[in-house]
Amino acid sequence: MNLAWVLLFLPLIAAAANQLYFKRIAFIASVISVGSVAATFGISLMLLGADKSPEPLRWATVGDFSIEIGITLDQLSTGMMVVVTGIGLLVHVFSLAYMADDSAKARYFTCLSLFMFSMTGIVLASNFIMTFMFWELVGLSSYLLIGHWYQKDSAADAAKKAFITNRIGDFGFMIGILMLWGITGTLTFSEMAVPATVSTGVLGACLLCVFCGAVGKSAQMPLHVWLPDAMEGPTPVSALIHAATMVAAGVYMLFRVQLSIGTAAFDNFAGDTIAWIGGITSLCAALMATQQNDIKRILAYSTLSQLGYMVMAVGLLSGEAGMFHLFTHAWFKALLFLGSGAIIYACHHEQDIWKMGGLLKKMPITGLTFAIGTAALIAVPFVTSGFYSKEEILAAAFTGNKVLFGIAVSVAFLTTFYMTRAFVVTFLGKTRSDNASHAHEVGPMMFVPLVLLAGMAIGSAWLTGPLNAYVPEHEHGHAEGHGLILGASIASLLLGLFAGFALYNGKDKDPVSIPLFRDRFKIDWIYDNIVVKYFQDAFAAIVHFFDEFLINGLVVGGAGRIAEGFGGLFRRVQSGNLQGYAFAFGIGVILVIYLTVF
């Protein structure tokens, strides 16, 4: 039995055991889930750098054709597994404290284990159908966890929105998979090769369809709307699923495709489109983040923006830079989310930063680790991991497209600005609500994960070798424009810090008001009030009307009247003995057969 299979199926076994036997024994359920994720973390460390993939299982076989469940072990997947299970473990431990009083704790941990299973499946998948299967399953676990407090309308709606929005992306994804199957003749990643005869148009269209999947899962525009709403879920879930791992699956999958069929296949309009969508998403999300007041939403828009960075890098044929940023971002964004969870927990479920303030003194460990996470996100030079990965992205943009480079630098400035705002308003100044004034530091079950994550927020850029195969060499710098990139990066950082402090230090309410950013460019409004209302519901109602009156009313009703015209027999039967009629009908039919045939 190969260890990799244990790695894949252990979380499923944990989830199944919890659902079947420990639904009402929350303590055992949580121990099983935490135990399973700890074990998978250990296995991930042992498998690090392994490259002997086990023999795949045949899931569905017809003749020579087979859909397989297989495991790819390579530097990419084993490195990603350490990130997924490492952050997963910390989030599980944090949840023990955060969800201690929840009435549905067993269900929560069951869903977390289900998520770990699904995410592991995406990372290890050896073929596209398997990726798609686990892709849908992470969608399910995300749906279940966002809707954990399903009696709240907003949570139930957000869960539904997340699933359906992802399904829209998966529409394209499935088409892309099928086309790629037609083009390469295989579904297995390691066997994929694009024949030279395939036209750029077909290949590009196919890759854009595949990209649709990433647009949904990694919440790129225009399908980004579900991610901010997904913050309705418990905060540890936001840290694990909606910041560190699941939303990165889109980037991971794109990079997996790049590795399989070669970066050159993206060197056409598909790559350009991907890069632009990433760039635009990163800019718009950063703008929206500057005007949010809910601490989780600020982080959610920040996640969108950073995912946009990664997607842009993939589109610019620098998937390595995107993956590097994915690795570092996972740690420090999980840190920020868990930190916000600690704050929310301490402030009795207050999420509005304007009702916080002065928390650094009350919660020094949380405050300091949050500061480290912020430093990594805004890319404080030379000491944080985020700096190195962002440099790679900026360098990719610089080489690839100067306009996108400009966008990327503006995003760097905006990131610093909104994170400074969030930090200053939350942690500095004076306390602005009762809930916040009663806040005190959280227990070790919560702050130990924060401290460990803070260590990774600094250190993850230096963990090279098999863990982080895509970390480029820092020391040598980039031949072209290195100084300019570094300068732009530091300048945007300083400018952002300055603007953030100058505008927000000591303020009790937001001195800036830009409704357009606060209302997320009205995109959600347009979807709810125009797309859903008219293009979906009204259109469906019109179709329903025609179905009822045209097909049902005229065609069938007409046929019915003709039949009635046959006279008294039918009419008498209709008003009378239905049993008799039905038997007469049956006998009649058999008579008809007999007469016709013989």
Partner 1 sequence: MLALLVALPIIAFIAILAGAPARQAALGAGLANLALGLWAAFTWEAEMWASSVEVLAKPSLHLAFGFSDGMSVIMVLLSVIVTVAALLSGRAPAGREILYYGSSLLISAGAIGAFAATDLFFFYAFHELALIPTFLMIGILGRGDRREVAWKITIYLGFGSVVLLAGLVWLANLAGTFDIPTMVAAVKNGSLVIDPAAQKGIAALLIVGFGVLVSLFPFHSWAAPAYASAPAPTSMLHAGVLKKFGLYGLLRIAIPMVPGGMNDWLTPLLVLLVGNILWVGLVTVSQKRLDLMLGNSSVMHMGYIFLAIAALAASYQGPALAGALVDGQAVTLSSVGRFTNDIAGPAAVLLMFAHGISIAMLFGLADKIERSTGTLELTDLGGLAKAAPSLAFLFGLVGFASIGLPGLANFAGEVMVFLSAFKNYDPAAGLGPVQIACICAIWGVVISAIYMLRAYRRIFQGESVRATESSLDLTPADRIPALLLAVTLLAVGLFPNLLLSLFK
Q: Is 319 in the site for partner 1 (CB under 8 A)?
A: no
Nearest CA-CA partner of 303 in 226, 362, 365: 226
| Tokens 């130990």 sit on residue | 448
Q: Is 591 in the site for partner 1 (CB under 8 A)?
A: no
Q: How far is the CB of 586 from partner 1 (least distance, A)?
A: 4
Q: Is 193 in the site for partner 1 (CB under 8 A)?
A: no
H/E segment holding residue 544? helix 539-546
Q: How far is the CB of 598 from partner 1 (least distance, A)?
A: 6
Q: How far apart are CA 548 and CA 525, in angstroms?
A: 31
Q: How many residues bind partner 1 (CB under 8 A)?
A: 71
Q: Is 402 in the site for partner 1 (CB under 8 A)?
A: no
Q: How far is the CB of 440 from partner 1 (least distance, A)?
A: 33
Q: Is 543 in the site for partner 1 (CB under 8 A)?
A: yes
- Count Cβ atoms below 10 Å from residue 536 Cβ, excluding itself: 12
Q: Is 559 in the site for partner 1 (CB under 8 A)?
A: yes
Q: Is 565 in the site for partner 1 (CB under 8 A)?
A: no
Q: How far is the CB of 584 from partner 1 (least distance, A)?
A: 10
**Closest CB to partner 1 among residues 183, 452:** 183
Residue ranges in 109-138 that form contacts with partner 1 under rule CB under 8 A: 129, 132-134, 136-137
From the list 379-387, 407-415, 459-467, 557-565, the region that binds partner 1 by CB under 8 A is 557-565
From the list 301-309, 312-320, 392-400, 539-547, the region that binds partner 1 by CB under 8 A is 539-547
Q: Is 563 in the site for partner 1 (CB under 8 A)?
A: yes
**Closest CB to partner 1 among residues 484, 551:** 551
Residues in a beta bridge with 62? 65
CA angle 25, 28, 34 (to 5 degrees): 135
Which of 45, 198, 428, 445 binds partner 1 (CB under 8 A)? It is: 198
Q: How far apart are CA 292 and CA 294, in angstroms?
A: 6
Q: Is 108 in the site for partner 1 (CB under 8 A)?
A: no
Which of 55, 101, 153, 475 binds partner 1 (CB under 8 A)? It is: 153
| Tokens 């694009």 sit on residue | 194
Nearest CA-CA partner of 419 in 505, 298, 327: 298
Number of helices (H), then strands (E), belonging to the chain: the values are 26, 2
Q: How far apart are CA 305 and CA 322, in angstroms?
A: 13
Could you tell me which residues come within 8 angstroms of residue 590 by beta carbon, excluding any fewer than 6 positions away?
none
Q: Is 21 in the site for partner 1 (CB under 8 A)?
A: no
Radius of gyration of the chain, Cα coordinates, nearest whole angstrom: 28
Q: Is 536 in the site for partner 1 (CB under 8 A)?
A: yes
From the list 252-260, 268-276, 341-349, 582-590, the region that binds partner 1 by CB under 8 A is 582-590
Residue ranges in 201-240 that form contacts with partner 1 under rule CB under 8 A: 202
From the list 47-55, 79-87, 160-168, 489-497, the region that binds partner 1 by CB under 8 A is 160-168
Reading the block at residue 120, the tokens are 């592991």
Q: How far is the CB of 233 from partner 1 (least distance, A)?
A: 14
Which of 403, 514, 555, 569 binds partner 1 (CB under 8 A)? It is: 555
Q: Exposed, middle or buried: residue 534 (CB in 10 Å: 0-12, 13-18, 19+)?
A: exposed
**Closest CB to partner 1 among residues 164, 486:** 164
Q: How far is the CB of 542 from partner 1 (least distance, A)?
A: 8
**Closest CB to partner 1 among residues 44, 131:** 131
Q: How far apart are CA 543 and CA 528, in angstroms?
A: 20
The amino acid that residue 42 corresponds to is G
Q: Is 13 in the site for partner 1 (CB under 8 A)?
A: no
In this structure, what are the phi and psi dihedrals at residue 66, rounded to the nearest 5 degrees?
-145, 135
CA angle 109, 457, 377 (to 5 degrees): 100
From the list 145-153, 361-369, 413-421, 478-486, the region that binds partner 1 by CB under 8 A is 145-153
Could you tell me which residues come within 8 angstroms of residue 363 by beta carbon, excluding any fewer than 6 positions away?
342, 343, 346, 439, 440, 441, 442
Q: How far is the CB of 200 from partner 1 (least distance, A)?
A: 12
Q: Is 60 in the site for partner 1 (CB under 8 A)?
A: yes
Q: Is 175 in the site for partner 1 (CB under 8 A)?
A: yes
Q: How far is the CB of 61 from partner 1 (least distance, A)?
A: 6
384: DSSP letter: S
Residues in a beta bridge with 65? 62
Q: How far is the CB of 589 from partner 1 (least distance, A)?
A: 5
232: DSSP letter: G
- How would you label 218-247 residue by residue, b for 16+ Cβ within 10 Å and e otherwise? bbbbebbbbbbbbbbbbbbbbbbbbbbbbb
Residue ranges in 63-92 that form contacts with partner 1 under rule CB under 8 A: 63-65, 67
Reading the block at residue 83, the tokens are 């990130």
Q: Is 170 in the site for partner 1 (CB under 8 A)?
A: yes
Strands 65-69 and 57-62: antiparallel
**Closest CB to partner 1 among residues 79, 172:** 172
